[in-house]
Amino acid sequence: MTSKMPAPALSAATLLPNGFYALTLPPLMRKGKGKVYLAGHDEPLFANPHQLFFRPHDARVPSDLLPADRTVFVYNLPLDTTPAQLKTLFQPAGKVEAVIIGNVGPTTTKEDVDARMATLTDPTTAAPHRPAEVAYVIYKKATALPQLPKIVHAKNWAVKASMPMGLARYKVRFDATHATDHAALEERAKEVIAEYDTRKAEEDRAMRTKTVDEDGFILVTRKRGARVEAAQNVKPKAHELKDFYRFQMREEKRSRLLELREKFAQDKKKIEELKQSRRFKPY
């Protein structure tokens, strides 16, 4: 018969001789049938309690990123600790302004911290196991530090990680990196189709201009096709209906006959004048 595994004892913070406060935390585990598993993993582990140490930050070299009167230095972080877990643990003492996981040195800039925290909070880029041992919890007000030993308790530690782990983490990463933007895909498809239609139209026009005669020579003809845009911009001209009625046709024919008779009379007169002046030489 399998004996039931006792739950780890959770308590408030205990002051140590070196100035740190010790807090007994449960590990990132969940109970199965007779076994204890690390959250999101399949390997069975013993439910050993975890010791977390913290104290007010006392840096030898001051840093603008870590205000001395509002910062808590945290050491010996549990495996896969997230900023959300630390914020939940220390939130009862006061409003937390920021959580920084990893060491902050004299040359560390805000850009470095932002880039590091972005990789830790994004499940698509975060490592499955982060080896960071230290963290900094920065409060909004300095009145939170004196209340830490009395208010911070292990019961506020979120055993379940807020970020997906194990197979769930890789599923989130796959979905994020293989997501399809249907609107962008449709727009790109329209562009490709338009490019194909334009290229096909140019090829057809080129083939129509290369006319081969009976002797096998290629006749170069003028391109008569105009761009669709240019044709659309041309305003249609007003069409006049000429010779629409029968009387208009008769008037037009009568005018032409009169012009011919008049021209014939003028030519005949010139010929008579040339004959009289003896300048007419038909041969």
Residue 127 placed within a domain: yes
Residue 57 near residue 68, CB atoms below 8 Å: yes
| Residue 225 reports pLDDT greater than 70 | no
223 and 152 co-located in one domain: no
* Band of pLDDT at residue 136, cut at 50, 70 and 90: very high
28 and 159 co-located in one domain: yes
28 and 160 co-located in one domain: yes
55 and 144 co-located in one domain: yes
161 and 195 co-located in one domain: no
Tens digits of residue pLDDT in 270-279: 888 887 776 5
* Band of pLDDT at residue 162, cut at 50, 70 and 90: low
Residue 215 placed within a domain: yes
Residue 18 placed within a domain: yes
| Range of lowest pLDDT (31-45, 123-137, 138-152) | 31-45
Structural domain boundaries enclosing 83? 14-177
Tens digits of residue pLDDT in 169-180: 677 667 766 767
| Residue 66 reports pLDDT greater than 80 | yes
Q: Which of 2-11, 34-43, 204-213, 254-263 is most confident?
A: 254-263
The pLDDT value recorded for residue 196 is 92
Residue 250 placed within a domain: yes
* Band of pLDDT at residue 234, cut at 50, 70 and 90: very low
253 and 164 co-located in one domain: no
107 and 137 co-located in one domain: yes
Question: For the stretch 189-225, what's the b/e string if a residue is b when 16 or more beta carbons lie within 10 angstroms of its beta carbon?
Answer: eeeeeeeeeeeeeeeeeeeeeeeeeeeeeeeeeeeee
Residue 5 placed within a domain: no
* Band of pLDDT at residue 158, cut at 50, 70 and 90: low
* Band of pLDDT at residue 96, cut at 50, 70 and 90: very high
The pLDDT value recorded for residue 210 is 62
Give the mean pLDDT of the chain: 74
Residue 59 placed within a domain: yes
Please name the residues in contact with 9: beta carbons below 8 A apart, sequence gap of 6 or more: 24, 49
Residue 56 near residue 89, CB atoms below 8 Å: no
154 and 67 co-located in one domain: yes
74 and 108 co-located in one domain: yes
Mean pLDDT in residue range 47-76: 85
Residue 121 placed within a domain: yes
User: Edge to edge, what strands does the sheet with 96-101 contain?
Assistant: 14-15, 21-25, 50-56, 71-75, 134-139, 96-101
133 and 159 co-located in one domain: yes
| Residue 72 reports pLDDT greater than 90 | yes
Of 242 and 187, the structure prediction assigns the larger pLDDT to 187
CATH of the domain at 172: 3.30.70.330
Domain count, the chain: 3
Residue 104 near residue 65, CB atoms below 8 Å: yes
150 and 31 co-located in one domain: yes
Rounded CA-CA distance 42/271 in Å is 123
Of 214 and 76, the structure prediction assigns the larger pLDDT to 76
| Range of lowest pLDDT (133-137, 160-164, 265-269) | 160-164
Closest listed residue to residue 57, CA positions, set 100, 3, 9, 89: 100
Q: Is the pTM of the predicted complex or chain greater than 0.85?
A: no
Tens digits of residue pLDDT in 198-213: 999 888 887 776 665 5
103 and 159 co-located in one domain: yes
Residue 237 placed within a domain: no
Tens digits of residue pLDDT in 250-261: 888 888 889 999
Rounded CA-CA distance 73/78 in Å is 15
Cα–Cα separations (whole angstroms), residue 63 to 30, 57, 58, 90, 182:
39, 11, 11, 21, 47
Beta bridge partners of 53: 22, 75
* Band of pLDDT at residue 62, cut at 50, 70 and 90: confident
